[in-house]
Structures are given as structure tokens and as C-alpha cells.
Amino acid sequence: MRHTGDAQPAADAVAGMVHGLARMFRRHKKSLRPFMHLAASDPEIEAMASRQTIELAHAFKSPVLEHRAEIAHPDPELAVDVAFRMAYCTFARQVMYGATFESDRRLGWKQLTEQASLACTDTYCTRPRARRPQQRLEHELRDRPSRRPREWQGT
């Protein structure tokens, strides 16, 4: 799904990179699949795959971070890194195990790509953040009752 109309350039950049990543995985799935499985048990293949994936991450992040001021997250670099991880891992699982490994709801490449794109753009580009995630976590931790035994509290 391509964002059009009044969409922010950051959302366009994220959507474009997610779609490009999906095309790459889909185009090369037959050759990627055995190497992805081998990487789990072969340190040399794992190291090579890691280097190539990190290069791919940089290629994904660079054009998106040109729009960092429009990213609705207090840490744009973190947001774009997590968006890459979300998309990469989603498509890698599809290549490695197929459409129904983790869910009995079958999603084809087109629908999976559109939904991954929406998840990444909605999370980081379109919704304003009322409170930073870390602040929210600290607030929730501070205000909830302790689960530690009474004798441990205050230590």
C-alpha cells in the first residue's frame, strides 16, 4: 500500500522501504530459505548473514531518517530501527516457514506487506505520542503495587 494525498513524507518513506524489503524477500525466497535455516547452526553463515542484514538495515533507515523531524517518536533512530526489525522479521518468518506457521490465518505477500507497512507507519509516523514510552513505563511501575514480599520492599 502506497500512501498518497496528505500523507507525510516520513510515512511515504517507511511504506516505500517496507514494500521494497518485501519485494526483495519474495523475489529471493527460494535461495534465502536454506541459508536462513543454516544460519541458525553455522557460525560462518550466521556472521555473513548478520553483516548483510546490518547493511540492509542501513539502506532501509537512511532514506527514512531524512524525514526524522516528521517521525512521531521521541527517538527517531530507535523508531526506524524497530520498524526495520518488525518488517524484516515478519518477512523472514514468511520465507522460512510459510504463511501459516505462527497463525492459522493465511496472509499472502500482498496483504502481509500492506499490513506490515501500516503497522510501521501508524506506529512511528502518524500518531502523536502523548507521553514517551519510557515515561509511561516508569509511571506504570511507580503507581502499581509491589509484587515483592513485604520483607524485600524498601531494599
**Residue 26 · residue 32 · CB < 8 Å:** no
The cell for 49 is: 548473514
- pLDDT value, residue 153: 53
- Percentages helix, strand, coil for the chain, rounded to the nearest 5? 70, 0, 30
Q: Residue 124: exposed, middle, or buried by beta-carbon count in 10 A (0-12, 13-18, 19+)?
A: buried
pTM: 0.75
Across residues 107-126, what is the average pLDDT? 89
**Residue 53 · residue 46 · CB < 8 Å:** no
Across residues 19-45, what is the average pLDDT? 95
Domain ranges of the chain: 9-130
Per-residue pLDDT of 38-51, as tens digits, reads 999 999 999 999 99
Among all chains, which residue has been given the C-alpha cell 510515512?
11
- Distance, in Å, from the CA atom of 72 to the CA atom of 84, rounded to the nearest integer, reads 16
- pLDDT value, residue 144: 53
Across residues 121-132, what is the average pLDDT? 63
- Distance, in Å, from the CA atom of 11 to the CA atom of 85, rounded to the nearest integer, reads 16
Task: Grade residue 25 by pLDDT with cuts at 50, 70 and 90.
Answer: very high
